[in-house]
Structure 1
Amino acid sequence: MDTRTDGLTEFLTQTQAIYAQAQSIDSDMDKNEAGQLEQLQDLFDSRQETIEALSAAGTDDWSNDEKATIDDIQQIEIQLQPLLKRVHEQFTVQMTRLGQARKVSGQYAGAYRQPTSGGSFIDQRK
């Protein structure tokens, strides 16, 4: 039971860290520091490990203290969802812009090349 309480406390701490990290991410992805999204992903990965450990410990007959911790986690999750949705939308917009920029730059890649002559070599010297 003590392991479960420690696990829930760790889960709460990780959820709070995810919330703080999600708040620090700017909606304009260009203004974010390098590695902010990767750090958020690392926090989610470590939280997933905690979830798996809690699942292995059992999820029945919670004590009152554990229920209070679970309620705190649920409240943070409710606040976290809109932030994560915004981060996801902005990341999708950024990826779309990068794809469009790459597509446009690819259209002009061969603008200054000489036309090919079907594999034959034409000597320009006289």
Structure 2
Amino acid sequence: MNLEEALAKDAEMKPKLLAAINGKYELDVKGVAKLDACLLGNWLHGEAERRFQFLKHYRPCVDAHAAFHAELEKVVRQINLGEYEQAQAMLANGTPCTKAFVALVGEVRKLKAEAKL
């Protein structure tokens, strides 16, 4: 698994959310909230769980991934309510959503180092 590629895929959510805001269209809340639907989540809840669940950095990585998806879900809910300005503000630097992504990157890199991937 290329974890940097998986992180890049999760980072692509921000442009998708901004496109939905600019285009004023709804997104699938359940799809965003589903933790094993993205590349990283699929790996964390599949192969990584089987191989690395007892490593020190596995659980914090899973928790950081869940926190990131929870923040994405909040943004999607605002978009779907038509609260576009608020949704866009939720994606700004220093917000819980961007902080959750930064924390996720840190935890993935710790797990990557510990698992020697």
Smaller-chain TM-score bracket? 0.3 to 0.5
Relative CO higher for 1 or 2, CA cutoff 8 Å, sep ≥ 6? 1
TM-score, normalisation: structure 1: 0.36
TM-score, normalisation: structure 2: 0.38
Greater Rg over alpha carbons, structure: 1
